[in-house]
Structure 1
């Protein structure tokens, strides 16, 4: 098992950031990928949507999902934890989007921002979000066997989009390799597993 810790850095911005820290750990055991993000700091200053529970409909008395976690597009427009997984020595990569509300998506790319399409190998992507006294933890365990073989080395970029209450958005990553925030740059896939 290859277990590594990480700490994300905000993209240079003129906006003063709330006292935030995004750190965690990532590991790959055979083809099981586990990542844990820990968001700490002044969370009341950022937009965090949480998963909705089953809600009773008063008129019929049966439980029904209200905004139940599901596959959704454009999660990066709000606070979203992201993971980019590329096969070493290949242009192909995948983008995993995880919302604190439990929504998710996985996109496949043929090359840098090319051929984007929903990755249909995943029909569900369960992950755990815990609102803790000192922050928020998000944990994902995913079998990569649907997209890569256990023998293939992978390169990973770990990122997060933070939406502030005033509507401002900040971009966090292991490294920023461009004059603009761009999580898709392959030079940013610096974790090897």
Structure 2
């Protein structure tokens, strides 16, 4: 698991650590996110039927940014602990956002008082080699948002910035 960093402008909150990992599969990828801390003190969307939904990033949400190595276009996946998901394609930095083609996304979440784990299996055409960002948005009970990523560029949190893409996946499993 790769440790994610809390953005330096964010106050500490109930979640004390976030880690994530990703691997390619024959038909897409599989990812796992782990949040550790006082899980009861964060907003976790209630379970819902798995379906595409917009604006998941407005509360606790885990994300993957997938960019073909050397390319400008990229795909963003939003994964909610509710099992809702979204996927968007961009031609370049935040340019021409549109729904991305996805065959299926299966999300499972387990939760204790001190840990929330989200696992996602994504069936989609994902080119390799690829540069990957794993990110987390965590909202606490008072509505304060924390931003977590492998790395951040200077300035306010921006997961679309290529600085966040610290993992290179080379091969299909």
Q: Which residue of 2 is the match for residue 83 of structure 1?
A: 64
Q: Which has the higher contact order (CA 8 A, sep 6+)?
A: 2
| Equivalent residues of 2:21, 2:33 under 8 A apart | yes
Moved more, 42-51 or 29-38: 29-38
- TM (norm. structure 1) is 0.81
Report 1:80-159 matches (<5 A).
80-119=61-100, 121-122=101-102, 124-132=104-112, 134-144=114-124, 146-148=125-127, 152-159=128-135
Q: Which residue of 2 is the match for residue 61 of structure 1?
A: none
Distance 2:20 2:132 in 1: 14
Q: Which residue of 2 is the match for residue 55 of structure 1?
A: none
SS of structure 2 residue aligned to 1:187: helix
SS of structure 1 residue aligned to 2:105: coil
SS of structure 1 residue aligned to 2:57: helix
Unpaired runs of 5+ residues, structure 2, are: none
The alignment's C-alpha RMSD in Å is: 1.7
Distance 2:13 2:112 in 1: 21
